[in-house]
A and B are shown apart, each in its own frame.
Chain A
Amino acid sequence: MKALHIAIKDLLITLRDWQGMLIFLVMPMVLTAILGAAMNSNFTDAPSLGQFEMALIDEDDGELAVALRAVLDTPLLKSLIRVIEMTEAEAIDRIAAGKLQVALVVPQGFTSSVYAGNDASLMVLKEAGSSLRPMVVQGIANSFVEYVSAGRIAASLAVRQAMLGSSNIDPMQTAGHIVEQLHALILQFREEVAEPHRSLISAFQYYAAAMAVMFMMSAGGVGLESIAVEKRNLTWERLMASPTSPVYMILGKFLTVLLVNSLQFMVLMLGTTLLYKVSWGDNMLMVVAAGVCYAVAVSGLSLLVAALLPLSKAGLGVWEIGVQACAALGGSMVPLIIFPKVLQQMARLSPNFWGIRMFTALMGGETLQLTHVLPLLAIGTVALCIGAGHLVFKQRSA
């Protein structure tokens, strides 16, 4: 209860100084508009449906090429990619003419190469300058090759069995077999790279989420600042002289950031919905719950930094630098897909990554999953525990 009273008092002070909070509301709205408009073409021409054309050049004419066609024919990928078959020369012409952005080549001998246990790969041709779509195709190609290579023994066994059992090889059966397992892989791939559904959402949606997570973290500095002010004003001392355990003080500050962040999120969500017609998802309650989960991560981190850093202007400066770094690393500035693989992996260190992943999933029509919220809740709780432990220890040994 005391923790809640501490937070309510902080919230009251924060709201009295509402001009100070304005920047955390206006800036993300403005940046969402600018970045959303600027990056829209990078996402998809039709914001609501991110389908694009891809040429398929089959020089192999083997079983695996058939299997690949079957993969591309799954509803999941069909909604994203419209496949047109043509020759390599045709594709190169079209790309040169600017009529096509990307082509996927199944080279001659691909199937036999894989069955023989040799290295084999699919080739992606792309228009110079476009990066996002070729990357999607490259991702699909890589997953496919990875799968069939890893499963090449099983595949060749299946083929041999088919050859022994009947004189006719049924490529469709083999494809069906692979697709079945590839489906799971693609789902996972879609999860990890988050590309297909990112393409299904508009740039405005993406940046509404990206800016919200960035500026919510920025507003987390309120927690640091209010601790610094309490120490300076000696209200912290007065509280420590009262029969209030330092644990309440820390929980109170955690709640302060949580409340400020949650309010901020709701304003941003309503603002982007009304002004930019951004759809955050079908279930408002779920979206708000997601916002609160992200706020938990920010609140925990704010306390952790407050505990570890000297509480001064410099401390706040370090927080702001951290906010920028997390934003860049986690995909708040530019979508992760244009980063190299290593950076895409490192993005997981940034709460922004998990926040954007969660919000874009909701925007793409998914429901809120444990895998969305757990990383954020874990960041928040671990940071809170370390931060609180450290602060209490510092207080006890003053």
Chain B
Amino acid sequence: MILEVKNLSKSFKDKKAVDQISFGVKEGEAYGLLGPNGAGKSTTIGMIFGLLKPTTGEVVVNGFPLIKQPEQAKSCMGYVPQEIALYPELTATENLTYWGRMYGLGGAKLAQRVAEVLQIVGLSDRAKSTIETFSGGMKRRVNIAAALLHEPKVLIMDEPTVGVDPQSRNHILETVKKLNAAGLTIVYTSHYMEEVEFLCTRIGIIDHGKIIAEGTVPELRRIVGEVATLVLQVSSLPEGLLATLHGLSELNTVAATLEVLQITAGDAAQALAAVTQVLADYRVKLRSVDIKEANLEAVFLHLTGRALRD
């Protein structure tokens, strides 16, 4: 385990922001913390970095207990805060050089790493511009670059795409995906389920300071049960078709209204293949298909009775 979080709790006055959270992240994994606003994501990350003192629980990073060996533990982690934490009056290079020094880098190695991380986030050509002249998305990218300088064992990102245009967002997601593919362990918090689904191999769903479900995407989907809904528009509904469809083992339920078939199935692709075969046998034309996969949104709704985003 690169990162172990054990029974972390944090209370502000009488409000429990984080309530007995435990999870572990293995080397090379991309772990997602998915939860709505105010769920306790930033508070959890604050405690992982020792910015907040936990009410209970402990954090172990790469075998170093945060309380006893804070410097070693912190050296293993890269922190991407939810807000831009840079000096607007300084250039990208000056900012990165400064942060590199704070992680104990220096000399030629530091200069080389600054150039490398600027390359990674695609801002080599803006190295000499001050941060205040950057767009929101570009600032976010430097914000990430600053966490990569010391080649951390685990990169911990707190909603790194908040308030970013779609193009920059894609760039960031692709960059993180690449870093993970290259072996970097990632912890990624977000309230965008698409991001977490795209990036993460394992996900913890957090709400009101508690992890209410944890697993891979398929594992979480299974919580909802029926996985996908297929809505098919067909040219006609000949006699016997419905009965044949009911007989297919790939489908869970079949309902028909006029020329629309509503089917639920565990695996949308297999179900669609079987249904098109049957339709061909009955010489029925398929006019349109709409597949709604049960997503993490549905999982969250199922677990809490609330939508992930209000």
Contacts and interface: CB of A to CB of B under 8 A. Distances in A.
A238 B146 contact: yes
Contacts of B85: 233-235, 237-238
Interface string B43-78: 000100111110000000000000000111011010
A242 B53 contact: no
Nearest to A239: B102
B198 interface: no
Contacts of A241: 49-51, 74, 77, 79, 81
A313 interface: no
B53 A9 contact: no
Given A17-B89, A234-B83, A237-B85, A242 B94 contact: no
B23 interface: no
A12 B79 CA distance: 24
B90 interface: yes
Contact of B87 (A2, A9, A397, A398): A9
A13 B90 contact: yes
A343 to B, nearest CB: 43
B49 A235 contact: no
Q: How large is the interface on B (under 10, 10 to 19, 20 to 34, 35 or more residues)?
A: 20 to 34
A5 interface: yes
B230 interface: no
A240 interface: yes
A173 interface: no
Contact of A243 (B83, B98, B104): B104
A9 B90 contact: yes
Contacts of A244: 102
Interface residues of A, number: 22
Interface in A226-252: 233-235, 237-245
Interface string B25-59: 00000000000000000000010011111000000
Contacts of B70: 243
Contacts, number: 70
B188 interface: no
Contact of B79 (A13, A17, A233, A238): A238
B103 interface: yes
B151 to A, nearest CB: 14
Given A12-B94, A234-B85, A240 B99 contact: no
A240 B49 contact: yes
B120 interface: no
Given A5-B98, A234-B83, A243-B104, A397 B53 contact: yes
B90 A233 contact: no
Interface string A306-322: 00000000000000000
Nearest to B71: A243
A398 B79 CA distance: 18
Interface string A4-27: 010001001100110000000000
Interface string B92-118: 001000110111100000000000000
A104 B98 CA distance: 67
A245 B87 CA distance: 20
A242 B79 contact: yes
A240 B51 CA distance: 6
A234 B81 contact: yes
Given A9-B98, A17-B89, A396 B75 contact: no
B86 interface: yes
Interface string A239-277: 111111100000000000000000000000000000000
Contacts of B50: 240-241
B53 A2 contact: no
A396 B67 CA distance: 10
B54 to A, nearest CB: 11
A13 B104 contact: no
B90 A243 contact: no
Contacts of A12: 89-90, 94
A256 B14 CA distance: 39
A398 B52 contact: yes
Interface string A92-107: 0000000000000000
Interface string B128-148: 000000000000000000100
A234 B72 CA distance: 22
Nearest to A17: B89
Nearest to B72: A243
A398 B49 CA distance: 12
Given A13-B87, A396-B53, 17 more contacts: A5-B98, A9-B90, A12-B89, A233-B83, A233-B88, A234-B84, A235-B87, A238-B79, A238-B81, A238-B146, A241-B49, A241-B74, A241-B81, A242-B74, A242-B103, A243-B70, A398-B51
Interface of B: 46, 49-53, 70-72, 74-75, 77, 79, 81, 83-90, 94, 98-99, 101-104, 146
14 contacts: A9-B90, A13-B90, A233-B86, A233-B88, A234-B84, A235-B87, A237-B46, A238-B81, A241-B50, A241-B81, A242-B103, A243-B71, A397-B53, A398-B52
Which 7 interchain pairs have the tightest Cβ spacing? Answer: A241-B49, A241-B79, A243-B71, A238-B85, A234-B85, A243-B74, A243-B75
